[in-house]
């Protein structure tokens, strides 16, 4: 009950945060140099044509009026119309966000699994060859640019070995997948389409590998440091001295205590992952949220930029909320205050 109250209160706190994001984004996108209207008019456009196009997108209104219209739209779930495409921003966002979240969440899951396993394994063998090797690999992973890493994986995995599909999209054509969320793996699971599931999985492997290699490193270092602290703590030493079985020591004392620091860091890394998708999506022809947001920004497509920043902000705050809850569950010293 207390946890539920905590979550509800935190969710309410999100409202002013997101409202702040809405205001700042609305103003910033208009302060940026750039003209979204000229790009939709042909070379023979006159000032009257420009004025007509501005009126069509409400850009002829005073700023406060535009803002109120935007807020009114938001309240009814209308994110506006893209100036570049003339389509609904909400509909475009709906097909773009699913695949990107799938990519980032899977990458984070793989990274968390790798970081936890390797971090604890490494700490238990501190300052031995295995530990040194893992630390060197983590350091390398941390310093590789995701863009470059993606290209190398494509070159080796697709071009040289021929193990992976071409970096062109997210699923093979002709699998007959019905789109529900836009995230292919999820949709294939929901519709029980095995062929589509396997195909989507194949297309996911290299981008997920790219992203997870890059984000594993900071997580791994954190887990290893926590685990070392636990290993050297009086409680663990005492438990070990009492001759508790190794398995109990690991599960009961080491793993849970070592993971305490992980949730907030994972939340941060999630945000980094969303940002990284711009390049990873470009390299793998993924065409998800990152590419859509970037295109919006390049052409100053105001409604697209506003919507994409709002979505990123919402993801951030929700993920941090989840991180807080998980941390509270892992660490008995943390009390949620309902």
Instruction: Give, as ranges, the residues between 268 and 287 that touch another protein (CB under 8 A).
Output: 282-283, 285, 287
Applying CB under 8 A, among 30, 125, 256, 295 the residue interacting with another protein is: 295
Among 140, 145, 163, 335, binds another protein (CB under 8 A): 163
Q: Is 158 in the site for another protein (CB under 8 A)?
A: yes
User: Which of 72, 44, 39 lies closest to 58, judged by CA?
Assistant: 72
Q: What mask of x and - would describe binding to another protein in positions 194 to 233, judged by CB under 8 A?
A: ----xx-xx--xx--x------------------------
Rg (CA), the chain: 24
Q: Which of 297, 325, 326, 330 binds another protein (CB under 8 A)?
A: 297
Nearer to another protein, 126 or 209 (CB): 209
Positive/negative CA dihedral, 214, 215, 216, 220: positive
Q: Which is nearer to another protein, 205 or 326 (CB)?
A: 205
C-alpha span between 262 and 269 (Å, rounded): 10
Distance CA(102)–CA(200), nearest Å, equals 11
- Take residue 288 and report the two structure tokens written for it: 């998800």
Query: CB of 280 within 8 A of CB of 290?
Result: yes
- Our CB check for another protein shows the closer of 41 and 238 to be 41
Check residue 145 for interaction with another protein (CB under 8 A). no
User: Using CA atoms, how far apart are residues 292 and 283, in angstroms rounded to an integer?
Assistant: 14
Single out the residue of 89, 111, 30 nearest to residue 276, CA to CA: 111
Applying CB under 8 A, the site for another protein has a residue count of 67
Cα 151 to Cα 168, 217, 283, 288: the distances in Å are: 13, 19, 7, 18
Task: Return the bridge partners of 88, or none.
Answer: 81
Nearer to another protein, 301 or 324 (CB): 301
- What is the x/- site pattern for another protein, positions 16-45, by CB under 8 A? ----------------xxxxx-xxxxxxxx
Looking at the Cβ atoms of 172 and 229, the one nearer to another protein is 172
Among 61, 85, 142, 181, binds another protein (CB under 8 A): 85
Q: How far is the CB of 90 from another protein (least distance, A)?
A: 12
Instruction: Report the SS3 class of residue 161.
Output: coil
**Cα–Cα nearest to 319, from 263, 253, 280, 279:** 263
Task: Give yes or no for a contact between 100 and 290, defined as CB atoms under 8 angstroms apart.
Answer: yes
Which residues contact another protein by CB under 8 A?
32-36, 38-46, 48-49, 52-53, 82-88, 91-92, 95-96, 151, 154-155, 157-159, 161-170, 172-174, 198-199, 201-202, 205-206, 209, 282-283, 285, 287-288, 291-292, 295, 297-300
């Amino acid at each position: 009950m207390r946890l539920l109250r905590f979550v509800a209160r935190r969710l309410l706190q999100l409202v002013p945060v997101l409202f702040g994001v809405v205001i700042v984004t609305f103003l910033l996108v208009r302060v940026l140099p750039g003209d979204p209207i000229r790009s939709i008019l042909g070379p023979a456009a006159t000032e009257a044509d420009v004025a007509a196009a501005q009126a069509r997108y409400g850009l002829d209104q005073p700023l406060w009026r535009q803002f109120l219209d935007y807020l009114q739209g938001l309240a009814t779930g209308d994110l506006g119309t893209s100036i570049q495409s003339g389509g609904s921003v909400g509909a475009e966002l709906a097909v773009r966000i699913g695949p990107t979240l799938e990519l980032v969440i899977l990458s984070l899951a793989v990274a968390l699994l790798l970081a936890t396993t390797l971090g604890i394994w490494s700490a238990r063998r501190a300052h031995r060859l295995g530990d040194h090797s893992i630390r060197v690999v983590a350091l390398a992973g941390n310093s590789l640019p995701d863009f470059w890493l993606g290209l190398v994986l494509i070159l080796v995995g697709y071009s040289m070995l021929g193990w992976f599909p071409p970096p062109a999209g997210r699923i093979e054509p002709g699998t007959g997948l019905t789109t529900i969320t836009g995230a292919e793996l999820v949709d294939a699971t929901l519709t029980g389409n095995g062929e589509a599931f396997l195909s989507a999985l194949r297309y996911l492997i290299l981008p997920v590998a790219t992203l997870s290699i890059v984000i594993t490193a900071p997580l791994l270092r954190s887990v290893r440091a926590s685990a070392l602290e636990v290993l050297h703590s009086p409680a663990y030493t005492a438990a070990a001295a009492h001759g508790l079985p190794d398995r109990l020591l690991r599960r009961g004392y080491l793993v849970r205590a070592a993971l305490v620091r992980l949730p907030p860091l994972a939340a941060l890394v999630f945000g980094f992952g969303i940002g990284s998708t711009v390049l990873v999506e470009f390299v793998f022809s993924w065409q998800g949220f990152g590419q859509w947001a970037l295109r919006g920004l390049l052409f100053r497509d105001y409604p697209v930029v506003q919507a994409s920043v709002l979505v990123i902000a919402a993801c951030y705050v929700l993920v941090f909320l989840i991180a807080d809850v998980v941390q509270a569950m892992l660490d008995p010293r943390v009390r949620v205050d309902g």
